[in-house]
Amino acid sequence: MKRRLIFAFAIFLFSGSCVAVFGQKTDKEVRNLKVYYEKGMFGGWPANFGIWNWGDEILVGFAKGYYKDLGSEKHNIDRQKAEVHLLARSLDGGETWKIEDPGKNDKGALFIPNKGSYHGIERTDAKIQKPVACKGINFENPNLAFTLRMSNTDGGESRYWYSYDRGHHWKKPSILPYFNTLGTAARTDYIVEGKSACTLFVSVAKVDGKEGRVMCVKTTDGGKRWNFVSWVGPEPKEGYSIMPASVRISKDEVFVAVRNNTFISAYLSSDNCKSWERLINPVEDTGEGNPPAVVKLKDGRICLLYGSRKKPFSICARLSSDMGRSWSNVIVLRADGSGRDMGYPRAVQRADGKVVVVYYFQDKNTGPERYIGCTIWAPPAI
């Protein structure tokens, strides 16, 4: 009888439909849905694009390419075919999704500075817009979507786009400065500070030209000019420190989680990003590099989400009630992954308190294709 109970608990622990909290009891269900799946195709990397929400309306970006088996150590996307960058929109809090292509019908965005593809050949069915000088962004526009993209991961040119109609149409891109570095590798991570003020957290090239480290920059004139504020942590001697995820805790306090080669680090500023305190690592081992997503919950806690690229391949969460100085045990949202090519989450919290996490994933039941998944989850109460 005892063995049967132990076996039943193990099934619960690694179920894709339940939450497993190591060291804690929980009865909160998790629902795993598909945002985008297409047989023979590859969906990937929401963290490279960004997520935005307006009440029950959620918008998230991702890449779509053609699936090709290139082995377990590579992204299984066909480099000889076009990769396109798409948006997925939900009007019901992440329950259902529709796919949109901002590169068609002159909607004004491809979300990439160079040829229109990172992993494939040049896209030919959409016009890549030339950058323009920014005339000023109203960051407090209630329908604003703002995003940044890079030309390559080691650092180069990054551009930023904005939309005043929730991402249906986008203004022409503007170039982000290099800030006296060898190049930037920006993804979307920003904090709105006012109508004309916005703080960005950007990956930039290290002094040797390789990726990378994290820089904090700010504009006070609507994005016409961006100014250096601080380095978030020292330049790593080996490997990289990239892909920040930030939240404002209070008027003067900001928390940032950062992707490193095999772990996630964290920093806290108590002087509005002028200087940073290194905190304990929220995640000591992600198997290999995988970026964090961070949400400040309505009850004030920090919720950190990430993909674990080691067996069992999982989407996980941790919670902090003290601004990242300590963390809950690991909460496994799903552990049914079939390979390490997964993760890159972005997340928002709904009005009902549930967290919507969007990521790319692979599992044996679906097949070899990578798809964009969505987990809807209610964090345990304090």
Q: Which two tokens stand for residue 39?
A: 């047989």
CA dihedral 344, 92, 355, 367 (to 10 degrees): -40
Sequence length of the chain is: 382
Domain ranges of the chain: 20-377
Give me the tens of pLDDT residue by residue for the chain, a chain 382 residues long.
444 444 343 433 333 334 444 333 333 579 999 999 999 999 999 999 999 999 999 999 999 999 999 998 899 999 999 888 899 999 999 999 999 998 776 666 666 655 656 787 777 777 777 899 999 999 999 999 999 998 878 888 999 999 999 999 999 999 999 999 999 999 999 999 999 999 999 999 999 999 999 999 999 999 999 999 999 999 999 999 999 999 999 999 999 999 999 999 999 999 999 999 999 999 999 999 999 999 999 999 999 999 999 999 999 999 999 999 999 999 999 999 999 999 999 999 999 999 999 999 999 999 999 999 999 999 999 7
Is the backbone peptide bond immediately before 307 cis, with ω within 30 degrees of 0?
A: no
pTM: 0.91
278 C-beta neighbours (distance < 10 Å), count: 12
Dihedral pair phi/psi, residue 91, rounded to 5°: -110, 5
CATH assignment, 20-377: 2.120.10.10
Cα separations (Å) of 202 from 48, 189, 205? 12, 7, 10
Sign of CA pseudo-dihedral 129, 141, 257, 199 = positive
- Residue 36 is which amino acid? Y
Radius of gyration of the chain (CA): 20
Residue 360 and residue 346 in contact, taking contact as beta carbons nearer than 8 Å: no
Q: Which long-range contacts (CB under 8 A, 24 or more apart) does 71-79 make?
A: 72/339, 72/340, 72/341, 74/341, 75/42, 75/44, 75/119, 75/341, 76/42, 76/341, 76/368, 76/370, 77/42, 77/44, 77/119, 77/120, 77/370, 78/42, 78/120, 79/119, 79/120, 79/121
